[in-house]
């Protein structure tokens, strides 16, 4: 088989996340700031006689999001997609870092280039939205954006921040459905206008490269996740002890992250993953 591409598929963190209400269709409206980070999966694509995916820590059958991308592109563009794809996972499923959505976006961009489809950014984002709510973010050129709606309405941010970032990824997978249900039970929603004002503050800090102005980072999911998983709350507290300027849960968890002014000299025994803000798809 001929190796066609070796691609990086970056993770994201949420720099603030607020739930503003439950919709009639069962989804939730939210306001958040997405930011790509350098931590990434690696995807290798070979030509093949049939479509196959190999992944050690994610589904390798129709449960893998790449199969959804394949079906969408075959139906939309009347093409036949036969590749052997290997995903080398660094971003654990259920960690709140957007690994599957990023994998989908990376594959979408590869298909556009490989088949010379000539799709522009707007068309790519429209296709990505059909695969998953978080996929469009990874198709932006910018590293950051404010996301509203169910996370699919994006306002890009010209972020100038690339400080060191450390991740703590516990061996726990948190059910997003469970977390949303707990938020509904406890009525932890806030008004959309209030959430948007908080997100705009973070946007300004990113544009001005003002790390101090990021504090505090708020994530509504912390109120339910930390109560159920005290070890995750303790991990966030430990990041502050180590010198983080800001720290937060990402998404609905289970990962927490801290942003630092400089790289740590010793972090191995803390079970931290070293990264930094910023990271391109491809």
- Please identify every residue annotated as catalytic: 12, 134
Known binding residue 94? Answer is: yes
96 belongs to an annotated ligand binding site: yes
Residue 156 assigned to a binding site: no
Q: Is 251 annotated as a binding residue?
A: no
Annotated binding-site residue? 214: no
3-state SS, the chain, equals CCEEEEEEEEEEEEEEEEEEEECCCCCEEEEEEEEEEEEEEEEEEEECCCCEEEECCCCCCCCCHHHHHHHHHHHHHCCCCCEEEEEECCCCCCCCCCHHHHHHHHHHHHHHHHCCCCCCHHHHHHHHHHHCCCHHHHCCCCCEEEEECCCCEEEEECCCCCCEEEEECCCCCCCHHHHHHHHHHHCCCCCHHHHHHHHHHHHHHHHCCCCHHHCCCCECCHHHHHHHCHHHHHHHHHHHHCCCCEEEECCCCCCEEEECCCCCCCCHHHCEEEEEECCCCC
**Does the annotation place 100 within a ligand binding site?**
yes
Residue 136 is labelled as binding a ligand: no
Annotation-wise, does 52 bind a ligand? no
Is there a binding annotation on residue 59? Answer: no
Residue ranges for the known binding site for ATP are: 92-102
Residue ranges for the known binding site are: 92-102
């Amino acid at each position: 088989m001929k190796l066609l591409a070796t691609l990086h598929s970056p993770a994201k963190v949420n720099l603030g996340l607020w739930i503003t209400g439950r919709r009639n269709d069962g989804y939730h409206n939210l306001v958040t700031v997405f930011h790509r980070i350098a931590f990434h999966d690696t995807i290798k694509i070979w030509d093949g006689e049939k479509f196959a995916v190999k992944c050690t820590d994610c589904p390798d059958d129709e449960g893998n999001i790449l199969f959804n991308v394949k079906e969408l592109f075959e139906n939309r563009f009347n093409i036949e997609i036969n590749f052997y794809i290997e995903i080398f996972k660094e971003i654990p499923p259920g960690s709140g870092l957007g690994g599957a959505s990023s994998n989908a976006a990376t594959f979408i961009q590869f298909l556009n280039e490989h088949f010379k489809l000539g799709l522009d950014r707007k068309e790519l984002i429209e296709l990505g939205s059909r695969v998953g709510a978080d996929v469009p973010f990874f198709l932006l050129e910018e590293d950051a954006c404010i996301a509203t709606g169910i996370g699919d309405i994006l306002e890009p941010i010209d972020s100038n921040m690339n400080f060191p970032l450390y991740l703590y990824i516990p061996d726990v997978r948190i059910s997003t459905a469970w977390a949303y249900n707990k938020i509904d039970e406890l009525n932890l929603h806030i008004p959309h206008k209030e959430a948007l004002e908080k997100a705009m503050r973070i946007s300004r800090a990113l544009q001005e490269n003002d790390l101090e102005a990021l504090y505090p980072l708020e994530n509504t999911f912390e109120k339910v996740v930390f109560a159920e998983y005290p070890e995750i709350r303790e991990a966030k507290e430990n990041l502050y002890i180590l010198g983080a300027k800001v720290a937060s849960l990402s998404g609905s968890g289970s990962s927490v992250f801290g942003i630092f002014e400089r790289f740590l000299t010793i972090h191995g025994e803390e079970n931290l993953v070293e990264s930094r803000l910023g990271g391109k798809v491809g």
